[in-house]
Structure 1
Amino acid sequence: MELFQLVPLILLSFYLLSNNVPQASAQRSTYIVHMDKSFMPKAFSSHHYWYSSMLQSVKSVAQTSLEPKLVYTYDNAFHGFTAVMSKNELQALKRSPGFLSAYADDVVTPDTTHSYKFLSLNTATGLWPASQYGKDVIIGVIDSGIWPESPSFKDDGMTEIPARWKGICQSGEEFNSSLCNKKLIGARYFNEGVRAAIPGVTITMNSARDESGHGTHVASTAVGNYVDGVSFFGYESDALAGIDQAVADGVDILSISLSYRRRDLYENPIAIAGFGAREKGILVSVSAGNRGPSFATLLEGIPWAFVVASGTVDRWFSGTLTLGNSKTITGWTMFPARAVVRNLNLVYNETLSACNSTELLAEAPDQSIIVCNLTDKNTSLFFLWSDLSRSNARVAIIISEDTSILRSTSFPYPGVVITPSEARDVVNYASNSDTPIASITFQETILGLEPRAAPALSGSSSRGPARSYPGILKPDIMAPGVLILAAYNPYTSTARIDNNIFLSSDYTLLSGTSMACPHISGIAALLKAAHPDWSPAAIQSAMMTTANPRDNTGKPIKDTEFNYRVATPLGIGSGQVDPNRALDPGLVYDANVQDYVNLVCSMNFTPEQTRTIIRSSYNCSNPSSDLNYPSFIALYEVQENRTTLTRKFKRTVTNVGNGAATYKVKVDKPKGSTITISPETLVFRKKNEKQSYSLTIRYRSNNEFVINDGSITWIEENGQHTVRSPIVVTPGVSDD
Structure 2
Amino acid sequence: MRLFLGVSSHHVWTWLLVLLMGSNNAMSTPEEHQTYIIHMDNSHKPASFSTHESWHRSTLASLSPYHSLSDKEMLLYSYNHVMHGFSARLTPSQLSELEKLPAHRATYRESFGKLFTTHTTKFLGLKRNSGIWPTASFGKDVIIGIIDTGVWPESASFSDRGMSPVPERWKGECENGTAFSPSLCNKKLIGARSFSKGLQAAGIKISEDLDYDSARDFYGHGTHTASTAAGNYVLGAGHFGYATGTARGIAPGAHVAMYKVLWATDSETSAATDVLAGMDQAITDGVDIMSLSLGFDQTPYFDDIIAIASLSAIEKGIFVVCAAGNDGPGWNSTYNGAPWIMTVGAGTVDRNFVATMTLGNGLTIEGTSYFPQGIYITNALLYYGKGNTSKEICDFSALDPREVAGKVVLCDNSTSIDVHTQMYEVERAGAKAGIFLIDKPTLDPEDYSIPSLVLQTGSSDSVREYAMTVKNATVKEMRFLLTKLGTKPAPQVAYFSSRGPDPVSPGVLKPDILAPGEDVLAAVAPNRPYMETGIYDLVTDYALYSGTSMAAPHAAGVAALLRAVHRDWSPGAIRSAIMTTAITIDSTYMTFIDQWTGLPATPLDFGAGHINPNKAMDPGLIYDIDLQDYIQFLCGLGYNDRQMSAVLRRREWDCKEGPTNLNYPSFVAIFTKATNSPTVKNFTRVVTNVGGDTAVYQAVLEVPTGMRIRIEPNTLTFTGKDQKQWFDLSVEIDTEAPDVIYGYLRWVDQHNHIVSSPVVAIKT
Query: Per-residue deviation at 1:491?
Result: 1.2
Contact 2:688 2:722 in 1 (8 A): yes
What residue number does 2:97 align with?
Answer: 92
Identity in percent: 40
Q: How does 1:246-645 map to 2 (within 5 A)?
A: 246-348=282-384, 349-351=388-390, 354-362=393-401, 364-375=403-414, 377-405=415-443, 407-438=444-475, 439-449=477-487, 452-498=488-534, 501-562=536-597, 564-616=598-650, 619-622=653-656, 624-639=659-674, 641=675, 643-645=677-679
Partner of 1:6: none
Moved more, 543-552 or 598-607: 598-607
SS of the residue corresponding to residue 48 of structure 2 reads coil
Q: Residue type of the partner of 2:170? A: W
Residue of structure 2 in register with 1:149 after alignment: 154
1:434 to partner: Cα distance:
4.6
Distance 1:618 1:183, change over 3 A: farther
Aligned letter for 1:677?
I
Q: Offset of 1:19 from its aligned partner?
A: 5.4
SS state at 2:236 partner: coil
Map 1:668-707 to 2 at 5 A.
668-699=702-733, 706-707=739-740
TM-score by length of 2: 0.89
CA contact (8 A) 1:140 1:251 kept: yes
Question: Could you tell me how far apart the structure 1 residues matched to 2:704 and 2:98 are?
Answer: 51
Per the alignment, do residues 17 and 397 of structure 1 end up closer, same or farther by CA in structure 2, a change over 3 Å counting?
Answer: closer
> Structure 1, residues 264-317: CA drift from partner, whole Å, max 9, x if none?
211211101100000000100000011111110113211101000011111101
Aligned residues of 2:199 and 2:271 also touching (Cα < 8 A): yes
Which AA in structure 1 matches 2:759?
I
Paired amino acid for 1:312: T
How much does 1:254 deviate?
Answer: 0.4
1 CA distance for matches of 2:539 and 2:69? 46
Partners in 2 of 1:337 and 1:149 — Cα distance?
26
- Asked if 2 retains the 8 angstrom alpha-carbon contact of 1:353 and 1:373, the reply is yes
For structure 1, which segment, 45-54 or 310-319, has the greater mean C-alpha deviation from structure 2 after superposition?
45-54
Q: 1:469 to 1:58 in 2, by over 3 A?
A: farther
Please list the CA deviations of residues 450-498 of structure 1 after superposition, one character each: whole Å capped at 9, or x if unmatched: xx41111111111111122222111100000111111111013222214
- Gap change, CA 1:290 and 1:16, over 3 Å in 2: closer
Aligned match of 1:212? 219
Q: Which moved more, 1:233-242 or 1:407-416?
A: 407-416
Q: What residue is the counterpart of 2:9 in the other structure? A: none
- Equivalent position SS for 1:570: helix
**CA deviation after TM superposition for structure 1 residue 365, in Å:** 4.0
Query: Match for residue 654 of structure 1?
Result: 688
Q: Tell me if 1:709 matches 2:714.
A: no
Please tell me whether the aligned partners of residues 73 and 82 of structure 1 are also in contact (alpha carbons under 8 angstroms): yes
The amino acid of 1:133's aligned partner reads F
Secondary structure in 2 matching 1:321: strand
**Counterpart secondary structure, 1:229:** strand
Q: Per-residue deviation at 1:353?
A: 5.2
Work out whether residues 32 and 83 of structure 1, in 8 Å CA contact, stay in contact via their aligned partners in 2: yes
Report Cα offsets for 1:492-521 as digits up to 9, x if no partner.
Answer: 3222214x5332111111111110000000
Encode CA deviations 1:108-133: one digit per residue, 9 max, x unaligned.
Answer: 65459211111010101101001011
CA distance in 2, matches of 1:274, 1:216: 22
- Inter-partner Cα distance in structure 2 for 1:164 and 1:534: 18
On the 8 A contact 2:409/2:426 being kept in 1, the answer is: no
Q: Are 2:198 and 1:193 equivalent residues in the alignment?
A: yes
Deviations 1:20-57 (A, max 9, x none): 99969833211111122012122222211221222222
1:708 CA displacement:
1.4
- Say which SS state the counterpart of residue 356 (structure 2) adopts: strand
Aligned residue type for 2:762: T
Distance 1:379 1:176, change over 3 A: same
Is the 8 Å Cα contact of residues 71 and 81 (structure 1) preserved in structure 2? yes
Partner of 1:180: 185
Kindly indicate whether the alpha-carbon contact (under 8 Å) linking 1:54 and 1:96 is maintained by their aligned counterparts in 2.
Answer: no
Contact 2:117 2:225 in 1 (8 A): no
| Alignment CA distance shift 1:205-1:423 (3 Å) | same
In structure 2, how many angstroms separate the alpha carbons of the residues matched to 1:200 and 1:142?
Answer: 21
Structure 2 alignment gaps of length 5 or more: 1-14, 241-269
Contact 1:217 1:487 in 2 (8 A): yes
Letter in 1 for 2:760: V
Q: 1:165 and 1:37 mapped to 2: Cα distance?
A: 26
216-225 vs 707-716, greater mean Cα deviation: 707-716
Distance, in Å, in 2 between the alignment partners of 1:46 and 1:324 is 78
Post-superposition offset of 1:437: 2.1
The Cα of 1:700 is off from its aligned counterpart by 5.4
Between the aligned partners of 1:541 and 1:473, the Cα distance in structure 2 is: 13
Contact 2:324 2:343 in 1 (8 A): yes
Counterparts of 2:227 and 2:306, CA distance in 1:
22
Deviation at residue 364 of structure 1 after TM alignment: 4.0
Aligned-partner Cα distance in 2 for 1:124–1:699? 47
The answer as to whether partners of 1:665 and 1:680 remain within 8 angstroms in 2 is: yes
- 1:115 aligns to what? 120
Change (3 A) 1:667 1:43: same
CA distance 1:213–1:633, shift in 2 (3 Å): same
Q: Does 1:53 align with 2:89?
A: no
Letter in 2 for 1:699: I
Change in CA separation of 1:534 and 1:186 when aligned onto 2, cut-off 3 Å: same
- State the AA in 2 paired with 1:585: P
Deviating more after overlay: 427-436 vs 35-44: 427-436
**Structure 1 residues 731 and 57: CA distance shift in structure 2, 3 A:** farther
Q: Distance in 1 between matches of 2:202 and 2:16?
A: 13
Could you say which residue in structure 2 is the equivalent of 1:225? 232
Deviation at 1:357, TM superposition (A): 3.9
Distance 1:606 1:232, change over 3 A: same
* Matched pairs, number: 707
Specify whether residues 127 and 408 from structure 1 end up closer, same or farther in structure 2 by C-alpha distance, changes over 3 A only: same
Deviations 1:223-253 (A, max 9, x none): 1001011111121111111111111111110
Q: For residue 499 of structure 2, what is the amino acid of its counterpart?
A: R
After superposition, the C-alpha distances for 1:413-444 in whole angstroms (9 at most, x for unaligned) are: 21101122321221233344454322110111
With over 3 angstroms needed to count, the CA separation of the structure-2 counterparts of 1:670 and 1:198, relative to structure 1, is farther
Change in CA separation of 1:109 and 1:722 when aligned onto 2, cut-off 3 Å:
farther
